[in-house]
Amino acid sequence: MKFRRSLARTVAIARKEGLHIVRDPRSLIMALAVPFVMLLLFGYALTLDVDRVPTLVYDHDRSPQSRELIERFAGSRYFRILGSVDEYSSIERSIDRDRALLAVVIPADYSRNLLTSRPAEVQLLLDGSDSNTASIALGYAESLVQMYAFELRARAIDRRGGQQLKPPVETRLRVWYNSELQSRNYIVPGLIAVILMIIAALLTSLTIAREWEMGSMEQLLSTPLRAHELVLGKMLAYFALGLIDMVASIAIGIQLFGVPLRGNPLLVLVSGGVFLVGALFWGILVSALARSQLLAYQLGMVTSYLPAFLLSGFIFAIESMPAVIQGITYIFPSRYFIMILKGIFLKGVGIQVLWVDFAFLLAYASIVFVVATKKVGQKLA
């Protein structure tokens, strides 16, 4: 009997909050439109691919070998030849004005040294202001120059009737899980977790604070409503909205961006539901801590947006962070959900591999629910 009454009160709160969502078009539009806008903006604009690097060429040698090397750069998808220059000052001006990222300088004795098996150097000048992009571009350029030099020497030895030149180590590259090396396959699954965390925390961070500002909390205080019923009722109303956002975000990632879903779709929905519940409870906890909607919104933004972007592995690899920061990342649920999404989407693994991350999500949702219930109970007391 008590359970039925408690369930009825919980459903009543959920219905009340659902009516408020429907009657507040701004919140509804924000909840439904923001995920689509973020997916489109980040999915298309944010890329970690380094290709079509704007490149200048300064050819001192002007030999068939140097021209063939330039053609190798022009034929690679990683470089975009802007043109040729005849002085270093032109290279410096182009790099200073962000017109070029790389300059290839071929010395006058390049072909002679190359054909006589002496060291044949090529100078590579890069804009190091973006160290990550410059490092990747340098690796591409060095590999291209070395491979061309090896092929040219192999042909020369073959023409002289010598033994065929073979590299000391034969490398065969095999890329697992993201064979096309498309950064959107890495970004979009993580972006789904970030969107859910932000939307869920921000929507529910205003609920309790709004009750105090509107004066309706006093009416709730006069009812036999329990703290856990209020927390669950408010969570259920926004859970339905968050579930729509989650399904829509997954569909957009698969259909529009072509991200492969190699694992079990049901596992994605279940883990996403658990993550969503924890994020909603966190927003309610933030709302219970602050009676002002402005303060609740600011706290919700700081505790959801920044950790989801910076400390979840969404953009920056956690392994490259300082040890102290790596330890801090364990308290944020977005870290575990992103690991689950990438494991299911790209690797096709199941719960037998991801059960630790899933257990952390369950523990997080349970702990935040208990803390939020106690805090709301103090407000209701």
Render pLDDT for 149-175 as a digit per residue (tens, 0 to 9). Answer: 777 777 766 665 555 555 556 666 666
Three-state DSSP state, 169 = coil
Angle (nearest 5°) at CA 99 between 93 and 100 = 85
Burial bucket for residue 70 (CB in 10 Å: 0-12, 13-18, 19+): middle
For 198, the token pair is 């932000």
**Do 249 and 196 meet the contact criterion of CB atoms below 8 Å apart?**
yes
HEC profile for 69-134? HHHHHHHCCCEEEEEECCCHHHHHHHHHCCCCCEEEEECCCHHHHHHCCCCCCCEEEECCCCHHHH
Question: Per-residue pLDDT tens for 190-242?
Answer: 888 888 887 777 777 777 777 666 766 666 666 777 777 777 888 888 888 88
Q: How far apart, in Å, are the Cα atoms of 231 and each of 36, 106, 362?
A: 28, 69, 17
Tokens of 379: 């407000």
Query: pLDDT tens digit string along 10-62?
Result: 787 778 777 777 777 776 777 777 778 877 777 776 666 677 889 999 988 88
Q: How far is CA 258 from CA 41, 48, 50, 375, in A?
A: 16, 17, 20, 43
C-alpha span between 33 and 36 (Å, rounded): 5
Q: Is the pLDDT of residue 264 over 70?
A: yes
59-115 pLDDT, tens digit per residue, is: 888 888 888 888 888 888 888 888 888 888 888 888 888 888 889 898 888 888 877
What pLDDT is stored for residue 43 in this prediction?
A: 72
Question: Can you read off the two tokens belonging to residue 332?
Answer: 């944020």
Phi, psi for 209 (deg, rounded to 5): -60, -35
> Which structural domains are found in the chain, ordered by start?
2-47+182-380 (no CATH), 53-159 (3.40.1710.10)
The structure's pTM equals 0.75
